Amino acid sequence: MDVKKHLVTILTNKIYTFIFFTSIGIVVRALTWAVLPLDWNWDSYHHWQISYLTLKIGLRQGRMLDLSGSEYYWGMVPHLVQAFLLWAFNTASIAPYRALNVLLGGVNVYLLYLIGRDNIYWEVGLYAGLLYALYPIAAVFDAIAMQETLALFLVLLSLYLFRVRPFWSGVFLALACQSRIELWMVSMIFIAGVILVERASTKIVPFLVSWLTLTGLFCWIFALQTSNPIYPLYWSLYSTFGGWTGSSQGKPFLELMLGWIYLKLRTWPTKPTGLAILGSMFVVLWVFVDMVRKRWRRYHIYLFFIASVVVLGPLLLPYFGKELEYLLLMLRLSIPVAALGGIILTYQLLKAGVPGLHIRFRSLHLEKGLLLLALISHLFVIPAYGYFQSKPEGVFSTADEGMRYYTGGTIISNYPMLNYRLVTKWRVKAADLLGTHYSPASYGVKDPVEYARWLKENNVTLWIYRGEEGKEAWSILTVNFPDLLVYKYRKYEMRFYVINHTSLDRILSG
C-alpha cells in the first residue's frame, strides 16, 4: 500500500484532513473511555457540582454557585460550558462533558497539524498531530470531565489565528485563561514576549485589545462577586505558595510569595529536580533573549511553549519525587507543553542531525519511533489510571447503601463525588443539597443553638459526614446535643447521621 499517495489524497482535501486527524484523536480517547468507564478524577465531580448548582440555582441569582464556596476559584468558562450541556441534554450526567472533551481532543489533534503545517511544513504538522493523538496522558485526561481539554482547544485556536485573525486570537486566549488559571500566568508571559518581539507593531493591537477587554470583563465579574478582580489567580498562587498549609496559614500574600521564592532558591540546588528547573531557566532565558533580538519568524509557537514550561514546569517537577498517585494526577500539567513541544521536537528531528558524522535525524526515522513509543506506552499508562476506578465505585456503593435512611428533606454533604451519585441515581434536587460552608461556623458563630436553628430552617434530615470536612459544625452539635445526630451507617470515611427532629424541636423550644 502506498501510504504517501493516500496521505497526499487526504491532506490536499480540507474535509478529509479534518476527518483524518480528528478521527484518530477521537478513536484513541473513546477507547480510553471504554477502558476507564467511570470518571475517576474526584476534582471533575467538584467542577460538575459547580456547573449543576449554577444551572439549577445560581443563574437565577445572576451568579455561579457551589456548596463549598469554590464557584470562582477555578475558571468560569468550563463550568458555564458544562452547565449549558446539562441544560441542552436535560440531564444531570457528567457524560455530555466527557463526550465534548473526547471530541475536542480530536479537534486539538487537527489544530496541531494546522499550526505545524502553516507555520513550518506539512510533515511537521503530521507528526506533531499524531504524537499528540497518541500521547497517553492527553488521551486519559481528554476522556474525563476536567478543564484541560477545553483550555488547550482555546489556546491552539488562538495560536492558529494569531497571524491571520489577531482580534479573535486574543479573544480565544482570554477564554483559555479563564478555563485553566495557570494559563493566565502563561498568557501574561506570552503577551509580554509578543510586545517585545513586535516592538510596538500595529499588528498586535487587535490581539492586545481583545485580550485586555475580555479579561477585564472577567475581572469585573470577579470584583463584583468576590471584591477581588483577580480572585482565581490570587488564590491559585496563594495555594501554590503554601498558604493553606502548616505555619503559613494566614500570612499575607507578599510574605508567602517571598518566602516561597527564598525556599525554592535555597533547596533547588540540592535536588535533581531543582537543578533541572534552574538549568532550564538559564536555557529558557537565553532562548527568549535570542528570540526577541532576532525576531524569530515562528516566535509565537516557541514563546507560548517557553511560557508554559516556565509556569507549569516548577509546578509539575516536584511531583516526580512523590507518590505515584500524586504524579499521575498532576501529569495533566504536561499536556500543553507536550502539545506544542511536539511541533518543535518534530521540526528539529526532521531538519537536524549530527554534523560531524554526516547523520541526518530524518534518515533515522526517529519521529516514527516516537509514535511507536507513544502507542506502546498506553499499555502501561492506562492500567495505572485504572487503579483510580475503585474510588468512584466505592463512593457510589456507599451512597446507595446510606440512602436507605433518607426520607426526604435536605442533605448535608460536602463531597462532590457523593453528591453526583445522590443527584443522578437518587434524583435528589439541587435545592435539597447543602454544604457546611453555609453553616454558622463560616460566620464565627459558637452558640450551639444557632446550629440547631440552621438545621431546622433548612429542613435537614440527613448529614453525611466525611473526614474533616465540616468538622467544626459537626463537633459543636454532637458535643452539645449528643442525641441530635443519630448515627446510622459508615463505610470508608463516610458516616451517615439522621437528624432527630424530636430532639431538635426540644432544643429550639427550650
pLDDT tens-digit series, residues 152-187: 999 999 999 999 999 999 999 999 999 999 999 999
Instruction: List the grid coordinates of 436.
Output: 457546611
Same domain, 318 and 412: no
Q: What average pLDDT is seen over the chain?
A: 91
Query: How much is the pLDDT for 357?
Result: 44
Of all residues in the chain, the percent with pLDDT exceeding 70 is 95
**Per-residue exposure over 35-44, b if at least 16 CB sit within 10 Å of its own CB, e if not:** ebebbbbbbb
* Confidence category of residue 359, pLDDT binned at 50, 70, 90: low
Query: How much is the pLDDT for 364?
Result: 59
Residue 312 DSSP label: H
Does residue 3 surpass a pLDDT of 70? no
Last residue of one domain, picked from the residues 333, 364, 388: 388
Could you give the residue ranges of the DSSP H alpha helices within 1-94? 3-11, 14-35, 42-56, 76-88
- Cβ-based burial of 31 (10 A; exposed 0-12, middle 13-18, buried ≥19): middle
* Residue 495: strand pairing partners: 465, 490
Q: Any idea how long the chain is?
A: 510
Identity of the amino acid at 241: F
Same domain, 24 and 44: yes
Same domain, 268 and 309: yes
Last residue of one domain, picked from the residues 388, 406, 424: 388
Instruction: Centre a 10 Å sphere on the Cβ of residue 487 and count the other Cβ atoms it contains.
Output: 12
Same domain, 380 and 461: no
Bigger pLDDT: 264 vs 461: 461
Does residue 362 surpass a pLDDT of 70? no
Same domain, 398 and 297: no
Contact by Cβ (8 Å): 98, 140: no
* Confidence category of residue 356, pLDDT binned at 50, 70, 90: very low
Query: How much is the pLDDT for 277?
Result: 75
Mean pLDDT of 372-396: 94
- Cβ-based burial of 377 (10 A; exposed 0-12, middle 13-18, buried ≥19): middle
Same domain, 177 and 36: yes
pLDDT per residue over 487-506, tens digit each?
Answer: 999 998 899 999 999 999 99
Segments forming the whole domain that contains residue 420:
391-509
pLDDT per residue over 425-444, tens digit each?
Answer: 999 999 999 999 999 999 99
Total tally of structural domains belonging to the chain: 2
pLDDT per residue over 58-108, tens digit each?
Answer: 999 999 999 999 999 999 999 999 999 999 999 999 999 999 999 999 999
CA angle at residue 330 from 328 to 336, to 5 degrees? 115
In 3D space, the residue among 242, 241, 188 whose CA is nearest the CA of residue 211 turns out to be 188
Same domain, 338 and 259: yes
Same domain, 292 and 226: yes
Query: How much is the pLDDT for 258?
Result: 85
Last residue of one domain, picked from the residues 331, 356, 388: 388
Which helix (H) or strand (E) is 133 found in, with range? helix 122-134
Does residue 358 surpass a pLDDT of 70? no
Same domain, 230 and 342: yes
Query: How much is the pLDDT for 281?
Result: 81
Same domain, 251 and 296: yes
Same domain, 342 and 409: no
Same domain, 161 and 216: yes
Distance CA 176, CA 31 (A): 27
Tell me the angle at which helices 231-240 and 205-226 cross, rounded to the nearest 10 degrees. Answer: 80
